[in-house]
Chains A and B, each alone.
Chain A
Amino acid sequence: MTDAVQPQVIPSWRRLYDGKVIPVATVLIALLILWLAGAVYMNSPQLIDQYKRGNVEWTFGKLVRDSWSMERPILPAPQQIVVELDKTVLDKKITSKRSLVYHAWVTLSSTLLGFAFGTILGILLAVGIVHIQTLDRSLMPWIIASQTVPILAIAPMIIVVLGNIGLTGLVPKALISMYLCFFPITIGMVKGLRSPDVLQLDLMKTYSASAAQVFWKLRIPASIPFLFTSLKVAIAISLVGAIVAELPTGAIEGLGARLLAGSYYGQTIQIWSALTVASLLGMLLVWAVALSEKLVLSRMGGQAA
């Protein structure tokens, strides 16, 4: 009765074996093999055509090598993307318009600004919905309806309208990110702010606590695990929002603009390297949120949602 529960110590080799490293690596290798085979499959008709017209003798080995090193392949091989990334990430100055780091930075800044807007809006809406019954009934249907609008279709109009009233550059893109990412935060926070049970609320009542004290000392701390779960979703779709906002608006900067330019000129390798950078950026952002979640929750006794 007097001994406290001690966390168990697990050796690191055991964690590697039980953990995710080996399964994830296996899937990664399988995907790479599929990808390389897919590149041969998709690019070879074009190559065979060329061989025929040029009367070139070809073997299967030559076909494979050529399909992995075309200038404008339908599906580039992974190593071509690595070479392209090496050129556009490491070789260029990061302020250069040709550097993917520069474009990633442009997209990242509107992602983060939109994420901040969306988090603030999402939390404010949730607080209103939880505390004011009228808002619960009047706002909730609109919030759900807002997410049924195809954002790709209205993004150009938002940009044009905002451009007309003098808002250009970062803010309109951030607003589109905000539009996408406030939703999971509102939903998660409403759930979190309502998560305290009757007993925890009764306890506050016996202390004759004010509404503000119940909010700050009970509802907010109880909602933190829910908030972080939502933030992880929100940051990922905030990035999607930022890229989508760069696609239809004739933007010349950002990963979305690189994707669009690549598709104009049939630069598949450029498209794929922009996609790779976008994926890495997304992973980095989710990881950063997950890390702060870990830090915050461990200070709050290690509770989970």
Chain B
Amino acid sequence: MSEASSKAVIEIENLDLVFQTADTPVHALADIDLTVNAGDFVSFIGPSGCGKTTLMRVIADLEKPTGGHISVNGMTPEEARQKRAYGYVFQAPALYPWRTVEKNIRLPLEIMGLSGDEQKARAARNLAMVNLEGFEKKFPWQLSGGMQQRVSIARALSVEPDLLLMDEPFGALDEITRDHLNEQLLNLWDTTKKTVIFVTHSIPEAVFLSSKIVVMSPRPGKIIDIIESSLPRVRNLDIRETPEFLEISHRVREGLRSGHSYDD
């Protein structure tokens, strides 16, 4: 499946996660097997409740699995988190409203104990990366939703992680903004050679962005299909009209259907 040269960043075997709720236990993840290699762009796609966000939270050590094995960079997720192995972009921007844009980006850097000059340089560099130069002194409420989400991406990038975890980062945005940010994200992935894990429930978004698409289904959350994309690494939005793109989209849709995602 993977090239001999690429290194496995995340290895998951037989992973299980059961939430103990008040009435009945909820089987959130069952029998997950997945390998993510360095430089991959992996999308988790599936309907609500299929465990795609939960799986990503397990990788980030925000949830503990109840069975199976998982390693991140060859360590446990907890060790990887403590070494700040990843940057996490949440569904909402989660900016701190009392901090300016620049101060928000500097938050993780302050926590890491970097020097003031280094913080400033990294904030400027990553704001430029998401095309937000000149907005340093603005407060979050002065920005549109799309700009806020770009700030949160710049904040995740400023940690300079090799692994970027993105949980439906563009879910709340309109389609035009989303297309634009998707292109920027692909460009960023291509230039920085980072490993990206991306949660989405949009088939075109998953197919457009990913080098590997993980199709999931609910109750219990499990992997139905893993699709290696045949699309070239560098793409633009026009690629969505090509037969290959439609073929991969079709396979994703078939996977979702076989997982009974369209049943109810």
Contacts and interface: CB of A to CB of B under 8 A. Distances in A.
Interface in A183-234: 199-200, 202-209, 213, 217-218, 221-222, 224
A196 to B, nearest CB: 9
A208 B146 CA distance: 27
A300 B98 contact: yes
Contacts of A204: 111
Interface stretch (B88-96, B200-208, B227-235): B88-96
Contact of A206 (B62, B97, B143, B177): B62
B98 to A, nearest CB: 4
Nearest to A197: B94
Nearest to A303: B97
Summarize B's interface: helix, strand, loop or mixed: loop
Contacts of B144: 1
Interface in B56-115: 60-62, 81-84, 86-88, 90, 92, 94, 96-100, 107-108, 110-112
B86 A217 contact: no
B107 A205 contact: no
B146 to A, nearest CB: 6
B90 A221 contact: no
B142 interface: yes
A4 interface: yes
B81 A221 contact: no
Contact of A301 (B100, B107, B147): B100
Contacts of A16: none
Interface string B96-139: 11111000000110111000000000000000000000010011
A1 B98 contact: no
A130 B90 CA distance: 26
A1 B177 contact: yes
Contacts of A30: none
A224 B86 CA distance: 31
Contacts of B99: 221, 301
Contacts of A222: 96, 98
Nearest to A304: B97
Interface of B: 60-62, 81-84, 86-88, 90, 92, 94, 96-100, 107-108, 110-112, 135, 138-144, 146-147, 159, 177
The 4 A-B residue pairs whose C-beta atoms are closest, nearest first, are A301-B139, A300-B98, A206-B88, A199-B94
17 contacts: A1-B146, A4-B135, A5-B142, A200-B94, A202-B88, A203-B94, A204-B111, A206-B87, A207-B84, A207-B107, A208-B82, A209-B111, A217-B107, A224-B98, A300-B98, A301-B140, A303-B97
